[in-house]
Amino acid sequence: MTGTPDRGGPAPYISARTGQFRYFDQQLGRPDWPAKRVLDFGGNVGNLLLDQACTIRHGEYWCLDVIPQAVEEGRRRYPDATFLHYDRYNFEYNPSGTKQLPVPDLGRFDVIVAQSVFNHTSKAEMRELVGQLRSFLTDDGVLAFTFIDPYFKPPPGWARAEEWPDLDNLRWRLASARWFQEPGMDVDALAAKATSAPLTWATLVNNEDFFLDSGDDWCREGEERTHYMVFCTEGHMRSIYPDATVLPPVPPDRFSCAVLRRRA
């Protein structure tokens, strides 16, 4: 449960991504950040604070992440903020963690954000974690999290050049995996399998097999897994959370966004 890692960083899974603050600032309509208590769920080293335009007060910023090295680095970079290790099991990021460990109650938050978290969980785990996070919102608080719509294709001039801007999210992620991890993978065959049926929720496991709308059936014990990526259409996310506001990506990011309020 962490933001997309930069595996070439100084320590395992230390993120080098930037732009998180700008993204959520746009998607949430530019809230009064200095007045907000903020939880960055899966915030890695706290890159939400890295943007020079970020106005979140460090003393009101909390970060939970399953990667202990990221938490330690975040504490070093931002000593006035609060970084806590969430020792929950994740076979890719925290294989020694505790399965189904509840999110710790850290009080109430005005804003909870999660970028590139639920494209690394099953649907059942997303439902569980989102339900817990909503319970930690203030009465007028807001939870915003990203997800990857497989069909989104950025308009000309939008995406970063290194992201194959002429490809939709599904083919871009497959092409990236082939380029950086699996030079022998058959992108066309995988894409054909993924689109052989109406694609609403799909999980790409080990860059070699798609499980389509299968819930958690692919999470079988004893099978070797190294990584996985989840895709969910905007329409399907609306069906999962009918009370959510589902927003399309904002340039230059390819992530869609679901925005939820505290349940009555």
C-alpha 72/C-alpha 215 separation (Å) is: 34
- What pLDDT is recorded for position 66? 96
Evaluate whether residue 217 is within a structural domain.
yes
Indicate whether 130 and 245 sit together in one domain: yes
Query: Among 115-129, 165-179, 226-240, which stretch is predicted with the lowest mean pLDDT?
Result: 165-179
Q: Are residues 122 and 200 in the same domain?
A: no
Q: Is residue 11 part of a domain?
A: no
245 in the same domain as 205: no
Residues 174 and 142 in one domain: no
Which is more confidently placed, 196 or 246?
Answer: 246
Mean pLDDT of all residues belonging to the chain: 86
Domain span at residue 187 reads 161-232
In a shared domain, residues 91 and 141 = yes
Mean pLDDT computed over 21-47: 97
pLDDT tens digit sequence for 101-141: 999 999 999 999 999 999 988 899 999 999 999 999 999 99
Q: What is the pLDDT of residue 63?
A: 98
Do the domain assignments include residue 75? Answer: yes
Structural domain total, the chain: 2
Per-residue model confidence (pLDDT) at position 178: 65
Mean pLDDT, residues 16-38: 95
Does the residue 135 lie in any domain? yes
Does 92 lie in the same domain as 26?
A: yes
Q: What integer pLDDT is reported at residue 6 of this predicted model?
A: 40
191/117 same-domain check = no
Confidence of residue 4 (pLDDT cuts 50, 70, 90): very low
pLDDT tier for residue 57 given thresholds of 50, 70 and 90 = very high
Same domain, 188 and 249: no
- Average of per-residue pLDDT across 210-235: 68
Alpha-carbon distance of 67 to 162, in angstroms, equals: 27
Q: Is the pLDDT of residue 95 over 80?
A: yes
Pair (87, 205) in one structural domain: no
This prediction's pTM: 0.89
Q: Is residue 156 part of a domain?
A: no
